[in-house]
């Protein structure tokens, strides 16, 4: 175990093991006979105790003893004294089993069950726990049980906090004690107990406490995990807050038919082509929330009734809790110029995943201009085809009058009735931590110290320079992650993902940096047609996507020639009509699950990935895809699949593509792409006009 070579057993050990196994089989045979026949005699119950002494992990034996106890307690002659005697016997059996294996789940659960009856003395429990924790101070079973006993004894959280401190001073590497301390502090802060009224009065002392452990043994992970929890508590918002939207506050949105000309006075960043008679309003919160509805979000416009809007969570797991919510605002077919005001959270009902009410109501407004244009069928729709060749893109002009909706609401004068401000103590605490870890790294090359410094710098920038929308330390953070990728190759993928997120934050942090990636598309055939701006994030070695709150405006996105294995979070970009994922590392169709939420998507390029190369779809376990959980019920209700064996063999592709209305698809270069599979795609997507560059009949 754990890299230790196995030693060949001695003959006498083999004989003893065989005898023990034979005795166990005999006991089990007799025990199951008693259990199946519901025999709860004294002899039968004692036999189950012998079985548990040999094998404390026998859940069936523990359940049998529960049934036996309930049987005795239900007898007419049973009284409180006899019941207490029976339950005390159970505690003795549990203690005997724990001496054999003090990490037995079944034994600890049975002891909890006995004490929950309320007839046994609990004075002995802390003494027993001390014995087990001296044997193994990090035994999380004992710590979980201690929390249970402390509640029964009405022992104060402050006393338990002092106990964790004593255990930590005994051994800084006691992860379970650190974890228990975080649980206790969370409860005390939430209840605002005496001496724990605010984080500002508690967390600075905790930082000083954890520094003792970290500087004593920088290679031990226990203290670092607790430090990460402290950082999270320092910067975590107590309530949900609206941080971004589409349309952005103060923007002018031009809604067109199929075409627009280059002489349009509106910015291509806020020009939307729609034939559906509606456009999406997207709300992006700082954390997952529920309760977004017409009663908690009011939309005032001269052409639509707020009560008619249906708000839906963009959750891949079909949950009613999500960080991003969308509703579709209908507009008339005639020409229109109107203002729209959206009020979020002025009525109670929006609740965060942690259970707190939205305490910061927000208001944003924008203008809508509808220009219905008669479609010229000879040219076709603008978003039905696109050529991803480099010569078809040119860098977009950087005129000062162009308005780019990339900033979060506080940079666009979003009106918050009670807009939260970062506390001074938070910034000061982070600054001290940054100084502390820079000092540590000057003394030694500590991997987890570099990781913590990188995290702290990013949070410090977000907190201290949010109004300026700057990432002052992004270059330093990128260098730290590059060093970690070399120093710790076993966690290379994690550091690569974190570096990708920082790089995207850097790209979207300012108008100047983002403009370098904004291109205008024109093809040689339709030179009079202008498409929306294309955001080209290709050739950046990205392994993970992020910064979606600043990319809600994007309609054409080029992510080609990166290292993406997942596109989780892309569902927030509700305006996407054209997407290139060419030359990435997507391993299966499950990784494309977010595409099912993109109702405007018409052009998709997933060519030259790794789809079909791997017999086992690891993406299903690495990503939170609902396909691995909910697909069974959908499968049973779909007659198309049941009647087509070919679709059954490619069910993942079917469930991804059946909900898309693609006009153009490129899939060449994947192991799965062949003539037979292409014929399946054509059958699944009747709207498809072009496949791998070839026009379909």
Name 96's Cβ contacts closer than 8 Å, sequence gap at least 6.
Answer: 49, 52, 53
Q: Give pLDDT, residue 632.
A: 42
Name the class of domain 14-171: mainly alpha
Note the pLDDT of residue 602. Answer: 94
The helix (run of H) or strand (run of E) holding residue 558 is strand 556-558
Contacts of 637 by beta carbon, 8 Å cutoff, 6+ apart? none
How far, in Å, CA of 554 to CA of 574, rounded? 9
CA distances from 436 to 210, 425, 429 (A): 12, 16, 11
664-666 and 297-300 strand pairing = unpaired
pLDDT below 50 — which residues of the chain?
Answer: 1-2, 260-263, 377-383, 400-402, 406-422, 468, 524-529, 621-636, 641-642
Residue 14, pLDDT score: 75
Nearest one of 172, 169, 166, 179 to 226, comparing CA atoms: 179
Percentages helix, strand, coil for the chain, rounded to the nearest 5?
45, 15, 40
What φ, ψ does residue 324 adopt, rounded to 5°? -125, 130
How far apart are alpha carbons 120 and 148 in whole angstroms?
Answer: 14
Tell me, what DSSP letter sits at residue 378?
Answer: T
Domain ranges of the chain: 14-171, 242-416, 537-697
pLDDT for position 642: 43
573, 524, 515, 512: which is closest to 548 by C-alpha?
A: 573
What Å distances lie between residue 562 and 386, 486, 496, 543, 583, CA to CA?
20, 20, 12, 7, 7
What's the confidence (pLDDT) of residue 648? 67
SS (H, E, C) 14-71: HHHHHHHHHHHHHHHHHHHHHHHCCCCCHHHHHHHHHHHHHCCCCHHHHHHHHHHHHH
User: pLDDT tens for residues 492-520?
Assistant: 999 999 999 999 999 998 888 898 999 98
DSSP code, position 328: E
Question: What is the rounded CA–CA span in Å between residue 286 and residue 277?
Answer: 30
Domain 537-697: CATH superfamily is: Ribonuclease Inhibitor (3.80.10.10)
Domains 14-171 and 537-697 share a fold: no
Q: Within 13 A of 100's CA, how many CA atoms are on the CB side?
A: 20
The β-bridge partners of 254 are 271, 369
Measured distance CA(455)–CA(41) in Å, rounded: 62
CA separation for the pair 341, 326 (Å, rounded): 16
Query: Token match 């036996």: residue?
Result: 68
User: Residue 9 corresponds to which tokens in the numbers above?
Assistant: 């057993």
Short-list 117, 119, 170, 178, CA closest to 143: 178
């Amino acid at each position: 175990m754990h890299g230790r070579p196995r030693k060949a057993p001695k003959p006498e050990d083999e004989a003893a093991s065989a005898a023990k196994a034979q005795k166990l089989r005999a006991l089990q045979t007799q025990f199951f006979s008693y259990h199946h026949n519901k025999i709860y005699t004294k002899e039968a119950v004692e036999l189950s105790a012998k079985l548990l002494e040999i094998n404390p992990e026998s859940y069936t034996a523990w359940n049998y003893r529960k049934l036996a106890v309930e049987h005795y307690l239900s007898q007419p002659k049973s009284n409180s004294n006899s019941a207490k005697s029976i339950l005390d016997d159970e505690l003795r059996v549990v203690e005997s089993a724990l001496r054999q294996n003090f990490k037995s789940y079944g034994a600890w659960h049975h002891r909890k069950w006995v004490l929950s009856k309320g007839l046994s003395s609990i004075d002995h429990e802390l003494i027993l726990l001390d014995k087990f924790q001296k044997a193994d101070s990090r035994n999380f079973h004992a710590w979980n049980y201690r929390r249970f006993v402390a509640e029964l004894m009405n022992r104060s959280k402050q006393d338990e906090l002092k106990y964790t401190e004593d255990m930590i001073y005994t051994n800084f590497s006691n992860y379970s004690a650190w974890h228990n301390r975080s649980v206790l502090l969370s409860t005390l802060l939430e209840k605002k107990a005496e001496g724990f009224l605010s984080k500002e009065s508690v967390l600075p002392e905790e930082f000083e406490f954890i520094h003792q452990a970290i500087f004593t043994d920088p290679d031990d992970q226990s203290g670092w995990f607790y430090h990460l929890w402290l950082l999270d508590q320092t910067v975590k918002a107590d309530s949900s807050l609206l941080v971004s939207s589409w349309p952005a506050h103060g923007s002018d949105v031009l809604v067109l038919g199929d075409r627009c000309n280059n002489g349009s006075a509106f910015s291509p960043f806020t020009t939307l082509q729609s034939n559906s008679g509606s456009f999406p309003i997207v709300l992006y919160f700082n954390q997952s929330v529920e309760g977004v509805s017409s009663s908690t979000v009011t939309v005032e416009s001269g052409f639509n009734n707020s009560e008619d809007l249906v708000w839906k969570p963009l959750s891949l797991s079909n949950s009613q809790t999500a960080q991003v919510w969308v509703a579709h605002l209908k507009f008339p077919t005639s020409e229109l110029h109107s203002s729209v005001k959206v009020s979020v959270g002025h009525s109670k009902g929006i609740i965060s995943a942690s259970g707190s009410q939205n305490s910061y109501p927000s208001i944003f407004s924008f203008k809508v201009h509808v220009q219905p244009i008669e479609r010229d069928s000879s040219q076709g729709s603008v978003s039905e085809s696109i050529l991803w060749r480099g010569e078809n893109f040119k860098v977009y002009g950087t005129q000062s009058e162009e308005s780019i909706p990339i900033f979060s609401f506080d940079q666009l004068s979003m009106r918050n009735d009670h807009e939260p401000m970062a506390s001074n103590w938070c910034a000061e605490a982070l600054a001290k931590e940054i100084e502390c870890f820079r000092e540590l790294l000057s003394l030694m090359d500590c991997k987890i110290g570099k990781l913590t410094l990188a995290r702290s710098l990013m949070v410090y920038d977000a907190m201290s320079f949010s109004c300026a929308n700057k990432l002052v330390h992004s270059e330093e953070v990128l260098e730290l992650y590059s060093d970690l990728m070399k120093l710790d190759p076993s966690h290379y993928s994690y550091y690569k993902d974190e570096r990708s997120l920082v790089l995207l934050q850097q790209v979207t942090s300012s108008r100047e940096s983002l403009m370098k990636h904004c291109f205008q598309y024109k093809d040689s055939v339709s030179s009079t047609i202008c498409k929306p701006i294309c955001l080209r994030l290709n050739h950046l070695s990205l392994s993970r996507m992020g910064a979606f709150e600043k990319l809600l405006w994007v309609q054409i996105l080029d992510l080609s020639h990166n290292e993406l294995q997942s596109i989780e979070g892309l569902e927030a970009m509700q305006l996407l009509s054209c997407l290139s994922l060419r030359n990435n590392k997507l391993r299966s169709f499950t990784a494309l699950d977010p595409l099912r939420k993109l109702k405007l998507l018409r052009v998709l390029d997933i060519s030259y990935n790794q789809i079909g190369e791997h017999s086992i779809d690891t993406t299903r376990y690495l990503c939170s895809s609902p396909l691995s959980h909910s697909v069974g019920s959908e499968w049973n209700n779909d007659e198309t699949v049941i009647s087509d064996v070919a679709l059954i063999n490619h069910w993942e592709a079917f469930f991804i593509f059946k909900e898309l209305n693609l006009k153009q698809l490129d899939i060449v270069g994947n192991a799965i792409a062949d003539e037979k599979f292409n014929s399946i795609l054509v059958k699944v997507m009747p709207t498809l006009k072009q496949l791998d560059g070839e026009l379909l009949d």
